[in-house]
Structure 1
């Protein structure tokens, strides 16, 4: 018993620890509770010292209940006494007394400051900006303002790219901050840059701007991601690049909740990885069904077959969100069906392209298979309740490689309000007749094909 306990106590720490000093956003968009989620996603155990509780939603801040400086001090002391905090991200901090607490307790920490001077709705989040500059900024190791905040802190009106560099250097020199990052998300145009200046010079990262409504929390997420990546790598430049990469997807997949400016989706990458794992498992289950059903060979055309399976349709953006079998589904000479593992994402097969086209038309579809054309198979689909549509391939215009599946779906969507589950053509010169069958999920795909095969 004693030796077991000794072993447990001497095991290496599974997660490093990061701290956030910030306000609590009741709408869970840009407060310390969001910082904790970013830490968790990036493999850091986050701890939280609360500076204020806001009555907040996507429509803005209605009220602020500020935590006393004494209680803020007690929180930070309690956390530092127990945890080996490797870096601290600081967001909203409201009063001069709170500034002094942070200066006293965290001046030796690797402090990453997100200078949230104002909320999205314009509500001031720092009571006295001048005291903030004098007390907080000189102890920051990193500061990450957006263009508006950088203008306020530097006194330079940032309007063009060259102004960013001037403001970046001035903030660094004025407040003796080792690393200044100015984010370009508030700039105009389709392409933006984030800048970092330090003793090594100026480093910038370019990225495509995403036209998105839901951007609440972007700055906070970036600063927390930077803190997390610094804890893991101890490399400021690498942390800058990784944080910039991290924040792009949460903006693209904004949550679209609330009636105002909604929060970004900080969990999107692990959500998509989880969904892809489920897709792979379901593809394996389909492979077992196909290889063990003695009639499945009937469905395989001369050009062989494949199954496309996507993650949830609302998260699909391109072929990288759709899986197929790399080696297709083949029928041997002895009528044995062999599924060509492994499952791969991003393979530009006809089935994947057609499924993507169907999803982008707004259909709740995640599975599609190409099947050998036969009048009896089409009639059997009708008997089990599926609507069918025939496409005349003679009407297909000449176009580049890979456009056929898109043309078929465009043609159908111009004629039907809802795209039928069974799409078939009788072929034309050089093109084998084919049935394409899509379903909303794998359960439906397997059940439908099982019922179909029982009728053949």
Structure 2
């Protein structure tokens, strides 16, 4: 059986993040990837130079084409960009939620180089979309914006996890890459359960596409029927190895090494019969 997944996100002309990173990750995880492009960006390892939002009607047409023909077992949502795009996706999924399987939302707001990928007036619309997800994957700055909780210590992160629950979000992974300590600790809340997933921090500059790649690997695992907790740990292993085995591409913040992530994933247990 060929498992199928969907990514709804922006296109990265530099190939390190967005749709391109998602499709690479899906394929390396043994999942057939489909896509809905919400924006076309002109970017490379040195920055984002232009963003063209796709008309909402075209986003809806892409979504309709996918659900009419493919057996989507899991979907991830990345960059949406503006209110109109968010509203188009929200309206479509409100009707067709059962046709996309498990849903992961990565609330993309800022590119690794600092460029804004979500218009300021779109935050409220994005927050209304989040309860449709099985799990969301904000980093610390994104979680601070969405919850209003400033995260300076572990207790703040736990408070933010509960705040998301009050907002109707059933599953949350707050990624810890922006903290400045020896561990890269992700905080997870699934229902009433809270736990952490740790990895040693890597001192490298090639970190473009980390969030996209993590959420795409998580989506691919869910598409294959892997339980959520195991899927999270696999995605953490994938991105950790993708970061710590850098590849030399571009002159700025280069991409992570998706192939190293896949190699690490292949060494993990194939208890679900899904080894690549």
| Secondary structure at 1:216 match in 2 | coil
| Secondary structure at 1:267 match in 2 | helix
| Secondary structure at 1:61 match in 2 | strand
Q: Does 1:125 align with 2:117?
A: yes
> 2:274 maps to which residue?
none
The answer for unaligned runs of 5 or more in structure 1 is: 1-13, 275-456
CA shift at 1:58, angstroms? 0.4
> 2:145 maps to which residue?
152
Check conservation: 2:81, 2:122, Cα contact below 8 A: no
Q: Does 1:51 align with 2:38?
A: yes
Distance 2:262 2:142 in 1: 31
Distance 2:112 2:236 in 1: 20
Check conservation: 2:240, 2:261, Cα contact below 8 A: no
Distance 1:221 1:138 in 2: 22
Please give the TM-score of this superposition, normalised by the length of structure 2: 0.89
Distance 1:272 1:150 in 2: 28
Q: Does 1:215 align with 2:202?
A: no
Q: Does 1:24 align with 2:11?
A: yes
| Secondary structure at 1:159 match in 2 | coil
Distance 1:149 1:21 in 2: 19
> 2:55 maps to which residue?
68
CA shift at 1:29, angstroms? 0.9
Q: Does 1:171 align with 2:164?
A: yes
CA shift at 1:134, angstroms? 4.0
Map Cα deviations across residues 156-204 of structure 1 (whole Å, 9 max, x no partner): 1111122111111111222x11101001111111113111112232011
CA shift at 1:244, angstroms? 0.7
Q: Which has the larger radius of gyration?
A: 1
Map Cα deviations across residues 213-270 of structure 1 (whole Å, 9 max, x no partner): 1000001111111111112234111111111111111101122211110000111255
> 1:268 maps to which residue?
260
CA distance 1:269–1:185, change in 2 (3 Å):
closer
Distance 2:61 2:159 in 1: 39
| Secondary structure at 1:86 match in 2 | strand
> 2:236 maps to which residue?
244
> 1:408 maps to which residue?
none
Distance 2:225 2:109 in 1: 29
Check conservation: 2:139, 2:177, Cα contact below 8 A: yes
| Secondary structure at 1:55 match in 2 | strand
Distance 2:164 2:114 in 1: 23
Distance 1:52 1:227 in 2: 21
Distance 1:138 1:91 in 2: 15
Q: What is the correspondence of 1:67-216 to structure 2 with a 5 Å cutoff?
A: 67-107=54-94, 108=97, 109=100, 110-127=102-119, 128-174=121-167, 176-216=168-208
CA shift at 1:52, angstroms? 0.6
CA shift at 1:273, angstroms? 10
Map Cα deviations across residues 373-423 of structure 1 (whole Å, 9 max, x no partner): xxxxxxxxxxxxxxxxxxxxxxxxxxxxxxxxxxxxxxxxxxxxxxxxxxx
| Secondary structure at 1:97 match in 2 | helix
> 2:269 maps to which residue?
none
Bigger RCO of structures 1 and 2 (CA < 8 A, at least 6 apart):
2
The answer for unaligned runs of 5 or more in structure 2 is: 267-276
CA shift at 1:49, angstroms? 0.4
| Secondary structure at 2:248 match in 1 | coil
Check conservation: 2:237, 2:265, Cα contact below 8 A: no
- Aligned Cα RMSD in Å? 1.7
Check conservation: 1:100, 1:135, Cα contact below 8 A: no
